[in-house]
Amino acid sequence: MIVHPPLLWPAYRSTLLRAPSREPVLLPHTMTELTAPVFGDDRVSAADADLTYANGGEAQGQRIVVHGQVRDSDGRPVPHTLVEVWQANAGGRYRHKVDRHDAPLDPHFTGAGRVLTDADGHYRFVTIKPGAYPWGNHPNAWRPAHIHFSLFGQAFTQRLVTQMYFPDDPLFAYDPIFNSVPSEAGRRALIAGFDLSATVQAWALGFRFDVVLGGPAATPMEQP
């Protein structure tokens, strides 16, 4: 099964001049490809996993808990790996100079966080449910609400940047980025599940988003 979207996907117009047109060359897996950077606990603080509070106040919007497990394609947990997230605020606006969407910024929401997975590959952060927002790809184009995820895994081959979506978004059918994923199973894998067990009574809704990385990682035996 083809996992990832094709680089050339004309419905997403920005791919037209950016997708390489030549066939990629096969890269053998040497230690450079079978290893990955290690980020220690000193790189991440507990506050980095709570996006609901900034600049002395609480962010507007629906508080949510997002958690899950990072595994490799054999189902093994990926421990102590860095998960970086960024997103729009509840109104669908990013705190970024390029975002021209006419929705208010929230002084108490920066929209960026980071967390390390634990020994069993689990991560958890608290944030605000992002809003949908318009973009210029085609007339009346709106991105479904999503959170950007960046993961390193244990090998260069496992490096992944993706987006987490929310269940039952009516915008899925119209979004060329979501629909660039070639399989139904792959598209489903990008949608978090509502998780009552992670929901915190009288405080925040829970969502679960597991991430499965491809590619092998080196065992310590292979280090020359």
Residues designated catalytic: 94, 133, 143, 146, 148
Binding mask 78-97 for other proteins (x = CB under 8 A): ------xxx-------xxx-
Indicate which single residue of 108, 124, 159, 208 sits in contact with other proteins (rule: CB under 8 A): 159
207 lies in the binding site for other proteins (CB under 8 A): no
**Which of positions 50-69 make contact with other proteins (CB under 8 A)?**
none
- Residues contacting 146, CB < 8 A, separation 6+: 87, 130, 163, 164, 165, 166
| Contact between residue 81 and residue 68 where contact means Cβ atoms under 8 Å apart | no
Instruction: Name residue 34's amino acid.
Output: L
Indicate which single residue of 22, 41, 119, 221 sits in contact with other proteins (rule: CB under 8 A): 22
Indicate which single residue of 189, 194, 199, 208 sits in contact with other proteins (rule: CB under 8 A): 189
24 lies in the binding site for other proteins (CB under 8 A): yes
**From the CB of 210, what's the least distance to other proteins, in Å?**
8
**From the CB of 200, what's the least distance to other proteins, in Å?**
24
221 lies in the binding site for other proteins (CB under 8 A): no
| Contact between residue 27 and residue 34 where contact means Cβ atoms under 8 Å apart | no
| Contact between residue 125 and residue 64 where contact means Cβ atoms under 8 Å apart | no
DSSP at 10: T
The number of beta carbons lying within 10 Å of the beta carbon of residue 171 is: 15
